[in-house]
């Protein structure tokens, strides 16, 4: 099974210049908790990911104004990234653990050869054959 067979194609993305508040509103409107951050909506070159929890803990809880700070200021760069043809059976993805909380995050971003976001696997633990460690 390849990544292209289990990914959400053409996922919702956040532009790096968007504010944390704008992305939080997008997440609420789309009922999603994590989005890839891209250079711009047209080119969609992958820069990182941002979760609703990242906005709360890395922006709001740090005293930053979510109306003012850029989502790229708080994006993670430790998310697993694969190509559409990557074989997922037996693929291992590391949990993203915040030492100050007990939340486990594991997502996979699918990019093409030019690092453009083409897909997203938000819950790889639900895909048969992917190993979360």
Tell me which DSSP letter residue 23 carries: H
Output the pLDDT for position 82: 97
**Cα separations in angstroms, 30 against 23, 27, 35, 51:** 10, 5, 11, 13
pLDDT at residue 7 greater than cutoff 90: yes
Residues whose CB falls within 8 Å of the CB of residue 99, separated by 6 or more in sequence, listed in order: none
pLDDT digits (tens, 9 = 90+) for 18-61: 999 999 999 999 999 999 999 999 999 999 999 999 999 999 99
CATH topology of domain 3-132: CBS-domain (3.10.580)
Torsion of CA 98, 61, 45, 93, to 10 degrees: 10
For the full predicted model, state whether its pTM sits above 0.85: yes
- pLDDT tens digits, 49-105: 999 999 999 999 999 999 999 999 999 998 999 999 999 999 988 766 555 554 556
Domains of the chain, residue spans: 3-132
């Amino acid at each position: 099974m390849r990544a292209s067979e289990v990914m959400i194609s053409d996922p919702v993305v956040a532009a790096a210049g968007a504010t944390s508040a704008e992305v939080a509103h997008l997440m609420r409107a789309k009922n999603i908790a994590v989005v890839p951050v891209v250079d711009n909506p047209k080119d969609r070159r992958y820069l990182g990911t941002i979760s609703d929890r990242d906005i709360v803990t890395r922006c709001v809880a740090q005293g930053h104004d979510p109306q003012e700070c850029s989502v790229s200021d708080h994006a993670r760069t430790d998310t697993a990234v694969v190509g559409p043809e990557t074989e997922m059976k037996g693929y291992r993805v590391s949990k993203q653990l915040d030492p100050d909380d007990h939340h486990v995050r594991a997502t996979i971003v699918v990019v093409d050869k030019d690092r453009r976001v083409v897909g997203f696997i938000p819950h790889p633990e639900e895909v048969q054959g992917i190993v979360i460690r």
